[in-house]
Amino acid sequence: RYTALMGTPNWFIALPCPGTGWYGALRAEMPAALCPFHPDDLHLTLAFLGACGEASARAAWSVAVDRLEGWTPVASALGSIEPMGRPRRGTAFAAIPTTGWTALVAMMERVRADALDAAGAPPDTRRPHPHVTVGRLRRTDAAGRRDALEWCASRGDPGVPVGFDAAALYTW
């Protein structure tokens, strides 16, 4: 559902995250410094392929479908919102699963390396860290960034139940 306004689109394989109910309430309380994702764009990335082109992305998708054969949907709960990206600065803000973590990590490990290889993308050597990005920091001053970070820290752990029961190939 992502639309490229300029530049080369990135591709990724992800689990769509239902945003009904819980996300509307979360969006309503986000500070002005955050640009929320559209509810239809919420997802948990299994493999970020980058700007590999459509043919390579479709090859990676084919591999992912094979690796996901027979997988069981994951019942999870999304907890705290954490800044992601540059340490202590955060450029993206994501909901972190409080349950289903082990199954989500296993799914990422099952798909990521082979999908990246099929796309001709470099290996991702980072440890899998399941998360659902809910918003990105707008261009803002230090006060706006501080408001966003304080909002994250004050949220606690609501444990919103979600189910991951499909995979999709995304681009923007």
pLDDT of residue 133: 93
* Dist. CA 19–CA 14, nearest whole Å: 15
Strands 160-164 and 74-84: antiparallel
* DSSP reduced 3-state for 127: coil
- What is the chain's length? 172
pLDDT at 170: 95
pLDDT computed for residue 6 by the predictor: 52
pLDDT at 21: 82
Q: What is the pLDDT of residues 113-167, one digit of tens each?
A: 999 999 999 999 999 999 999 999 988 888 988 899 999 888 877 788 999 999 9
Give the per-residue pLDDT at 87.
58
Residue 55's pLDDT is: 96
